[in-house]
Structure formats: structure tokens, C-alpha cells
Amino acid sequence: MDYTCLTTTEIINWLRKNLNEERYIHSLAVADTAKDFAKRFGIDEEKAYIAGLLHDCAKCFSTDKLKDYIDQGVEITPDELPNYKTYHAPVSAYIAKTVFKVTDEEILSSIRWHTVGHTNMSLFEKIIFLADKAEPKTRPAEYLEYILKDFDREDGLNKALLACYKATIKSLADRNLTICTPTIDVYNELLNSVEG
């Protein structure tokens, strides 16, 4: 099935032109990891691959350019507004929709929410969220070992996501940074689900 107006090669060429080297390598690795996870959980591998490729497509836009998109109507929640690093998620979803002509709502929402996540995420959103954190090309090996330590156990996807949120919350707290409410809500939801 065609999820975009471009071929995979054309998407990869676009990414090569619009991302820096590290982000380009990361994006290809997220796509491969998302495809592996999709196979593991029995969902559409090609769709996961496309979402992985496009999830950070606006990541290397300047902050001013990202702000312009938001000023022009790309929606962002009040929780995300103080942290400009989160802006690339809604803008990447917007670019996926307008430049790459993605119409699949699951692809678009997985891109939209890959930074902060939200409660009650779908399986597809969880897979893209985890693939972003668990790709082996640019993420540190110790981090991967930590977040994937229980991945092969029962409810391993939620356990891996919980480990991601734990690591994020610890890191923010250690740096005296604020933790937005949705992050805490997702952490609580995952904690209750894996313990419940």
C-alpha cells in the first residue's frame, strides 16, 4: 500500500538533504527498528517503516522556522509550548501530511506524539515511540540495555516504555528541569498497567 506520494528512495533523498548526518542516520535506524517491532507485534511493517523514516523530518528546521509553523496554526499543547525541542513533533506530522501527502491517521499521530507521548497510546504509537528511543545506531548501548531489559517478558512493550519514561523523568529531575504533566500521567498509567 502507498502511504505517501513519494517512493522510499525519494523520501530518503529528502531526509539526506534536510537533516544533519546524525539525525539522518537516526531516522533510517528508527525506520528499521520500527519495522522489526511491527513484525514482532504483527502489525503493518511498511507503515511502521514510513512512520519511522518521517518521525523527525522537521527536526533540523531552525527554531524560528518551527515557531513560524506553530504561529501559522500547527497545533501544540500548552504543556509543550515552553520547550521548543518538542516543536518538531507536530511540525514533522504537518510536513508528513502536506509534503509527503500521508493521510494515514495512525502514522500522523505516531509522529505527532513521539516526543511526549500521551495516555492510552495505540500499539502503533507505542511502537514508533519505542523505536525512536531503542534504535541502536545513535542511542547509547547502556541506555538500550536499560530500556529493553524486560522487553522479552510478558507485557514487554509497556515495560520498555515505562523504562523510557523513568529514564526521562530521572534525567529531567537530575537537571532541575520541570516535568510536564502528560509525562507524569503516561508514567503513572504504564506503572499501573505493568503492575496491575
Report the SS3 class of residue 6: coil
Among residues 1 and 141, whose Cβ is nearest to Fe ion?
Answer: 141
Which amino acid, residue 22? E
Q: What DSSP string describes 108-170?
A: HHHHHTTTT--TT--HHHHHHHHHHHH-TTTS-HHHHHHHTTTTTSTTHHHHHHHHHHHHHHH
CB of 84 to Fe ion, least distance (A): 13
Among residues 83 and 193, whose Cβ is nearest to Fe ion?
Answer: 83
Alpha-carbon distance values, 173 to 21, 114, 129, 167 (Å): 30, 21, 21, 10
176 is written with which cell numbers? 532541575
Among residues 108 and 194, whose Cβ is nearest to Fe ion?
Answer: 108
Residues of this chain that bind Fe ion (CB under 5 A): 56, 132
CB of 115 to Fe ion, least distance (A): 6
CB of 154 to Fe ion, least distance (A): 28
Among residues 3 and 117, whose Cβ is nearest to Fe ion?
Answer: 117
CB of 1 to Fe ion, least distance (A): 24
